[in-house]
Amino acid sequence: MSIILSLCLIPLLSIFLIQILPRYTWGTLKVTVLLIWLEFIVQVLTLYPLLVNKIAPIPVIDGFMVDKIAILFILLTTLIMAACFSHSYWFFSHEFKKNNSISLSQLRIFNVISIMFYLSMIFVYCLDNLGYLWIDIELTTILSAGLVYFNRTKHALEATWKYFVICSVGIAFALLGTTLIYASSQLHGCHGSLNVSYLINQTQHLDLNLFKFGFIFCLLGYGTKAGIFPLHSWLPDAHSEAPAPASAMLSACLLNCALFAILRLNSIACLIIANMASLIIWIGCITILAASLFLLRQYGIKRLWAYSSIENVGLMLVSIGLNQPWLFFLLAFNHSLVKSALFLLSGNIMQITNSKELKDISGLIEFSPVMAILLVLSSLAITGTPPFGNFMAEIILLSQLLNLNFIYPFILIAIALTISFIAVLTHVGKITVGKPKINYIQLNNFNYSLIPVLLVFLSLIAGFFFTNKLFIGMN
């Protein structure tokens, strides 16, 4: 119970503080930022001893369980959310000054929804029950839709509706799959259960056909939420229309939740379904290739990073198919750090240029060298360039594919990563060099660069210190 209190007490206090005050001010936002960082410190102090000790998964209460991989994802989610909240202070203060349609009451709603969204995400990693997991992921859909609609424009409404409808259809498939998995556990003299730990211990008693169909429906459902091809169409629109801090939350945190649900299901499926690994790996490969081809021709800066997120979802899905949870976390860790930095930087660039169209943005190195250098470094990091962490993770992934004789997926992924590298750096090159096409607005480089610098630096540290042996040792 102390674990649950450490996860939710301070966020709930933040919501209470925001709601009880008669007026929402910029000072309140500063206090909220400090509380989220305090939550991260509390989580480190509470969960780190469990992470370093060689202990079995910790049952909290019925249907709740915390293991090492869950602890890592909880800490990662809290770190990214704290970073996004910190950057949002500068981002929204600029938006408030230039756009009278954004009010402090609107910002109050945004922050309340963001904290509730954060709570719904961290509990995804604590749930041992597939039914609770389905409810929680559906809750993340409902709450994050409010973030996408923040600007309340026609395009934001369209993106929100598209996101909500497509993801809800996907979650409906996951509900059907969860029901079939429950039915598979009721046969052969077993009582029905949706607890993952119980299902892992009772795999020999599960009905194979019912479980297989249930797993495929869940894979499609949660895969829709993660943005696998061809069920990805909501993702570029939602990330493009949401404000930059919300886009960073959606890409760096929310996608991990859907993939973590697939990881939990795969921990059961890999024990009883022989060819399921190949299916997951090929879905991941097709997603990577499709995203890399979409990257070649893009017109919006945030849509560019949205398709890059889809590519990384494919990489993480391949690691799940290989049944490598630590490799999955390594990929997710580096993607979350760098992609949140890229979305936050894109928000800065949109404020500088007053445009999100790639054709309108050029000459950034001349007007804002700090932003340009950070953008180039982040782009190199997300495309797997050494010495950043993504390079290490992708090398480990490719070597695992070779070791397990997945030759064709190896070739396909190598080609797709090359295409995406060329596409991303071509777009970024056009943004940074040349002459500015329009009158740019000057921003405070220190304030707007602080969080992206921190995130990119952490990815660089990950590239130097996160090794395969480290993660195998923790497993």
385 band by pLDDT with thresholds 50, 70 and 90: confident
Compute CA distances 110 → 15, 88, 102, whole Å. Answer: 11, 11, 11
Q: How far is Cα of residue 95 from the mean position of the Cα atoms in its chain?
A: 25
d(CA 251, CA 263): 18
| Segments in 368-406 forming alpha helices (H) | 369-382, 389-403
Whose CA is closest to 351, among 91, 150, 83?
91
SS3 269: helix
Q: Which residues pair with 159 in a beta bridge?
A: none
For residue 30, what pLDDT band results from cuts at 50, 70 and 90? confident
Give the pLDDT confidence score for residue 59 in this predicted structure: 65
pLDDT at 5 exceeding the cut of 80: no
Q: What number of helices (H) and strands (E) belong to the chain?
A: 20, 2
Helix (H) or strand (E) holding 298: none
Residue 101, judged by CB atoms within 10 A of its CB (0-12, 13-18, 19+), counts as: exposed
Residue-level pLDDT at 469 = 44
Kindly give, in sequence order, each residue whose CB lies less than 8 Å from that of residue 56, ignoring residues fewer than 6 positions away.
67
Asked if pLDDT for residue 450 goes beyond 50, the answer is yes
- Two tokens, residue 368: 């804002």
Rounded CA gap, 458 and 388, in Å?
A: 9
Cα–Cα dist 140/81, whole Å = 14
Residue 19: is it exposed, middle or buried by C-beta count within 10 angstroms (0-12/13-18/19+)?
Answer: exposed
Q: Would you state the pLDDT for residue 51?
A: 77
Residue 338 to residue 349: CA distance in whole angstroms: 16
pLDDT exceeds 90 at position 316? yes
Residue tagged 């760098």 (tokens):
338
pLDDT in tens, 108-117: 888 888 899 9
Mean pLDDT in residue range 36-62 = 78
Pairwise CA distance, residues 151 & 446, whole Å? 26
Least confident of 169-178, 310-319, 432-441: 432-441
Quickly state the pLDDT bin for 1 (edges 50, 70, 90): low
pLDDT digits (tens, 9 = 90+) for 224-281: 988 888 888 888 888 888 888 888 998 888 999 999 999 999 988 888 887 888 889 9
Mean pLDDT of 169-193: 83
Q: How does residue 60 score in pLDDT terms, banded at 50, 70 and 90?
A: low
Entry pTM: 0.91
